[in-house]
Structure 1
């Protein structure tokens, strides 16, 4: 059992952000059933795995979920299946990005306690080494309790152009393992990303934060007051059906669409980073799923009714679709579901959004020829 990283008088509130659509994993993940509600890696869904990393019986507070109104039943059902009742479920009428999504539980917690800490986590990430994550939380705890806004810097295992980066600055005095943030860098070119990895002082920004609710709200008031105003009004007029909280729609939708990085972290003087190597992946593409799932001796990752002959380094994924037989394939992805079939080279995983755009525009139906990409 990992050591409990929580002081006896400080409760850390896991805040699980579960509002994404996960369209890069089409056709398996769609708006009605996005990837966080699917058991992609284990027999639990990704949201369930996220909650299980920080259970209440090991010193953490009951989880807080932020999701969309259309997924209320799914959230409650999946948390009930684990006997982990959430303390609150905030149901957004539509997404307004992470700054607003974090503001709702921050304001709610401040109604109850002045020194609440929030551990903000996306619901659809993989963390293979939970012990290392817990140790990083323990390192971050004193800084967060002192009002610093802590971001966890993920070990940059390779040059990746799809992530933002955090430049590590000077050590935070008196707090081992915590560093000032020198700067945030948005998604770089491959050449720049390669220099970051070689430098060793840059980390991926995985969107995981340990924040004092009060400190976050104070910084939001300074740097993004319109987000705070909209969320405060939406919460004061919310419909509450414990544990469900429905923010008032018109007020919430008036919030600017800003990430916490743009709204606060890139502007505040309180941003600090805790570097951590914990087997992290955002599973943001079919290629990323191939990388984190088990593979056979030929490098093939197979889930469901699929077989291979002279095939290497493929991902074959079947759920409610026809079985797959792969003959002589190399470095391909084949996904078979009741909603559609996807076939592409692994190297084109980031281009699935082009297919999704065509499907959304009505090009993909039985009476028309398949759209050309």
Structure 2
């Protein structure tokens, strides 16, 4: 058996505005009806696997928990990083937590697309068998084009005593220029570096101790003081932040004598840009791929995603058009990699659109910022059945709540009141309050905030179902 370890960090800036830092591409249905994280887990179905370990940022923990629940995976573990330190420390922490079992880890990225899942599963079985004989296995993707956006791995001699499908790694090489990539493709000796690995945790820790003992030491300290609460494993923040940032490739795989390549041809893509999504989608006879409310006249070879309103194309070609509730992005499909530069500019100008969707997801549900102006803000709040917000108060704002669907149980100071549709209440400034959904359908209400300061950090929590009483930046 093996344990899937899913790397679910990353901000997905090249798929802005659909993907944003607080809700990046791995948690979105970029290709298909399920999120990319869910698709990653689902393609392991039928294999002899333990419950998964998901490694993600602290701020994404409730998103991951909900997506696991949607798949019925209630026994998985969610390993939280206070901040990203690249793959070598993340996998060191996972290995330290799994070393007692010492069974094989299959390390996958949550934001990859694989077309031929049967071929992928067969490669996983081969790699697990190879790794059980004390090798660090990496999957090499058989290249279909002289791609300059991927790193490459060159294969050495076949490990015939282990498997005819496994090769010693000759070298890892960086992203090549066009001519070099063509020579790699023609040689038949090079594979795309997939960033997927299979190994025993004990072997990885042994090699890490040899080549990067500083990383291992920091991770040991972080794990020794880890907090296990609900499905979450929270490593010690100070110890983990003291850890150097490095990838598993640089820290171990390029230095060890134990690295092995298992080739696989499975229609793999890292879904790194809108142009890569276009390549994976099958458009109509005009080359148009459209989602949402889209009308087109005399246009071709475009990708259009409309989330909220009508998008019309007239006489254009080779465009990527993405419309969300608060942003529209139009790009030449041949320059789609540069979308990340827009995100950089937005961050420089302190634009919230770089970080947040208008819809913000919380463990109890979500809210949509409908309107805001001088000293007021309007939100539509949705609370899941049985869920409740924290017991809290605000120093700078008052709130009016109007129920439009379902039933709300409102704590306001020392009293509790049950509100049905079309009923409302007022929360004065400084009043301790809580909102709950005691019913079996989604509770929806309109919240009107008024006051001198309306920021999300104006929250004092006294009690919280989700363990956030020490956090002051979430509703």
Instruction: Provide TM-score, normalisation by structure 1.
Output: 0.92
Task: Give the match's secondary structure for 1:329.
Answer: coil
- The one-character-per-residue Cα deviations of 1:287-327 (angstroms, maximum 9, x if unpaired) are 0011112311111111111121111111101123x321111
Q: CA-atom RMSD, angstroms?
A: 1.4
Alpha-carbon distance, 1:161 to partner: 1.3
1:95 matched residue in structure 2? 84
Preserved CA contact (<8 Å) 1:139 1:176: no
Task: Give the match's secondary structure for 1:152.
Answer: strand
Preserved CA contact (<8 Å) 2:319 2:333: yes
Cα distance in structure 2, aligned partners of 1:128 and 1:218: 35
2:345 matched residue in structure 1? 358
- The one-character-per-residue Cα deviations of 1:187-246 (angstroms, maximum 9, x if unpaired) are 111111111111121110010111111111111111111111111110110111132001
How many residue pairs get matched?
A: 352
Cα distance in structure 1, aligned partners of 2:268 and 2:47: 22
Preserved CA contact (<8 Å) 1:323 1:336: no
1:347 to 305, 313, 334: 334
Preserved CA contact (<8 Å) 1:65 1:86: no
Task: Give the match's secondary structure for 1:274.
Answer: strand
Cα distance in structure 2, aligned partners of 1:194 and 1:312: 29
Alpha-carbon distance, 1:39 to partner: 0.7
- The one-character-per-residue Cα deviations of 1:237-274 (angstroms, maximum 9, x if unpaired) are 01111320011001001111101101101111111101
Alpha-carbon distance, 1:363 to partner: 6.9
Preserved CA contact (<8 Å) 1:28 1:339: no
Cα distance in structure 1, aligned partners of 2:136 and 2:352: 48
2:18 matched residue in structure 1? 28
Cα distance in structure 1, aligned partners of 2:248 and 2:60: 23
Preserved CA contact (<8 Å) 2:13 2:21: yes
**Which of the pair has more CA radius of gyration?**
2
Cα distance in structure 2, aligned partners of 1:296 and 1:223: 52
1:237 matched residue in structure 2? 225
Which 5+ residue runs of structure 1 have no aligned equivalent? 1-10, 367-373
2:55 to 51, 66, 87: 66
Preserved CA contact (<8 Å) 2:214 2:244: yes
Task: Give the match's secondary structure for 1:250.
Answer: helix
> Once superposed, which parts of structure 1, at least 4 consecutive aligned residues long, lie more than 4 Å away?
363-366
Are residue 289 (structure 1) and residue 287 (structure 2) matched?
A: no
1:220 matched residue in structure 2? 208
Task: Give the match's secondary structure for 1:209.
Answer: strand
More relative contact order, 1 or 2 (CA 8 Å, 6+ apart): 1
Alpha-carbon distance, 1:60 to partner: 1.0
1:123 matched residue in structure 2? 110
- The one-character-per-residue Cα deviations of 1:316-350 (angstroms, maximum 9, x if unpaired) are 01123x32111111111111112311111101111
Are residue 310 (structure 1) and residue 298 (structure 2) matched?
A: yes
Preserved CA contact (<8 Å) 2:128 2:199: no
Q: Which structure has more helix as a fraction of its residues? A: 1
Alpha-carbon distance, 1:353 to partner: 1.4
Cα distance in structure 2, aligned partners of 1:339 and 1:15: 34
2:160 matched residue in structure 1? 173
Q: Which structure has more strand as a fraction of its residues? A: 2
Alpha-carbon distance, 1:102 to partner: 1.0
Which 5+ residue runs of structure 2 have no aligned equivalent? 354-475
1:4 matched residue in structure 2? none
Alpha-carbon distance, 1:141 to partner: 2.2
